[in-house]
Amino acid sequence: MKKALAYVSGTVASFVPVAVALAGGTSNFNTERLNTIVGGFKGIINTALIVLSGVAVLVFIYGIIRFVLSAGDAEKRKESRGYMIYGVIAFAIIAGLYGLSNALLDFFGVSTSDSLNVPQVNVRP
């Protein structure tokens, strides 16, 4: 539980510099660059959440397979049920973190795109 609290507080704390930067007003502040940087972090976080969601689904499916294959043993069925519960709980936490990150970005008014703004180089043939 302490690790989960540390991860959540670390995620929330990572948005504090953005809030402080936006609180200073618009004088001498490049919001486009900030949006690009935050958009990059959002892309990394979204990718990590997608990978973790896949792991949670695999744990759930592993629990289902073990549950079906352990038809006669009550102890193995209990362990398998635990895997299924952990998979569902992990998926719910990941969905909540995804919603929390988007809500915080929206609350602080940081507009991000789904992809990074990479400058295009025109090469003439």
What is the chain's pLDDT, residue by residue, as a tens digit (125 residues)?
Answer: 567 666 656 665 566 565 555 555 555 556 667 667 776 777 788 888 889 999 999 999 999 999 999 888 889 999 999 999 999 999 999 989 888 887 887 777 766 555 545 556 666 66
Q: Could you tell me if residue 120 is inside a domain?
A: no
User: In which domain, by residue range, is 8 found?
Assistant: 2-107
Does any domain span residue 119?
A: no
Domain assignment of residue 97, yes or no: yes
Q: Are 62 and 88 in contact (CB under 8 A)?
A: no
- The tokens of 21 are what? 């930067």
Could you tell me if residue 69 is left (phi over 0), alpha (psi between -120 and 50 degrees) or otherwise beta? Answer: alpha
| Structural domain count of the chain | 1
Q: Which of 87, 125, 84, 110 lies closest to 18, judged by CA? A: 110
Phi-psi region of 37 (alpha: psi -120 to 50; beta: other; left: phi over 0): alpha
Q: Is residue 116 part of a domain?
A: no
Six-digit token string for 12: 């929330």
Which pTM does this prediction carry?
0.57
> Coil, strand, or helix at residue 123?
coil
